[in-house]
Structure formats: structure tokens, C-alpha cells
Amino acid sequence: MDRAAVPLVLASSSPRRLDLLARIGVVPARIDSPDIDETPHPRELPRAYALRLAREKAAAVARRDGEAVIAGDTTIALGRRILPPADDEATQRDLLASLSGRRHHALSAVCVVAPDGIVRTRLADTIVAFRPLTARDIDAYVACGEGLGKAGGYAIQGRAEAWVRFLAGSHSGVIGLPLFETRALLATAGVL
């Protein structure tokens, strides 16, 4: 894999985002993890929240001359409600119970800051529907540990994929970076 013409900084500590970039032949020149407050603003809607976080993550990373920066955010929304990441098992159980048998939105925002400082964002809105989950399903999934720290309490690229009865949109976006939108933004920024 060749390195891109314009050096790219990945503003993320997510190994999934690094793997997803590799799928489109992009190897970041460096990785820098942004430190931002991810608390939703009062009455902030999920789409605006995901886009704001992607922009703030990109802005929180120092960009050297000639570099481009990419950042992303994946937000799980149930109606107008922004679901938090599953920071503990109790939260994860509650999240999975609320998603059981229902459709939700996986909003995956991507922000690219070009070498000239121009900021561009795109958002992929993916509808995901889980089959009804039993208490046993939820217990087994929580015990495997795979959804801890993840938006909505699950990782679609793992065991939770077997619960998906319907998906419309970007599978890679649910994982953490919508590749169609990402590729378009990187091409515009001169990275591809």
C-alpha cells in the first residue's frame, strides 16, 4: 500500500477507523487521539451532535504544513435520543434492551481538514433494526465484552451482526467510518 500524496493525520485512537481506511488504500502518516468533551448540548439533535463531534475532533489535533486531518464520530440514535457509549455493563444492558426489536439510526459523521485549512464534513445515516433480544441474548453479549465502550453498546462487525434483521445505509459507517463519504472527502482534499 502506498502512502497518500498528501500526508494524512488520523484524529482517532480507534483501531476500527484505521482498519477501515486501509480498506480504501489509505495509510495515515500519523495518528493523534483528540481529547474533547463529548457531552451533548441541551436539546442537540443526533445529526448535529455527530457532525459537531467530528469537526471538534479534527480541530483538536495539530495539523502541520501540508497535512490533512480526518476525524469521525458514530452516534447511535433512537428517535431524537442520543444513546451514550456503553461505559459499563449496566449501561450496556439498558442500551441493548432499548434497541431490542426496534429500528435505530447509526449516524456516522466524517470531517476532513484539507492542507489549505478548508473543513468539509459528510454524514451517513444508516437505519439498523435488531430482532427482539431475550435476556439471555443480552447476558451472553455483555459477558463477551465486545460492546463495551461502543456507541449504543454493540459492535456490528462482531456477534451483534447476527441480530440485524434490516440495514439500509453504510455498513462501514456503523463500524466507525462511512467509506463512500470518506473516500469522496479525501479525494477532494488531495489525499487520494
Beta strands in the chain (DSSP E): 8-10, 30-31, 68-78, 81-83, 103-113, 119-130, 164-168
Cell 489549505, located at residue: 116
155-188 burial by CB neighbour count: b if 16+ within 10 A, else e? Answer: bbbeebeebeeebebbbbbbbbbbbebbbbbbee
Question: What span, in angstroms and rounded, lies between the C-alpha atoms of 56 and 113?
Answer: 11
Count CA within 13 A, CB hemisphere, residue 66: 5
User: Are 133 and 96 contacting, i.e. CB atoms less than 8 angstroms apart?
Assistant: yes
32 classed as catalytic: no
The 8-class DSSP code of residue 132 comes to P
Active-site annotation holder among 73, 116, 125, 137: 73
**Residues with catalytic function:** 73
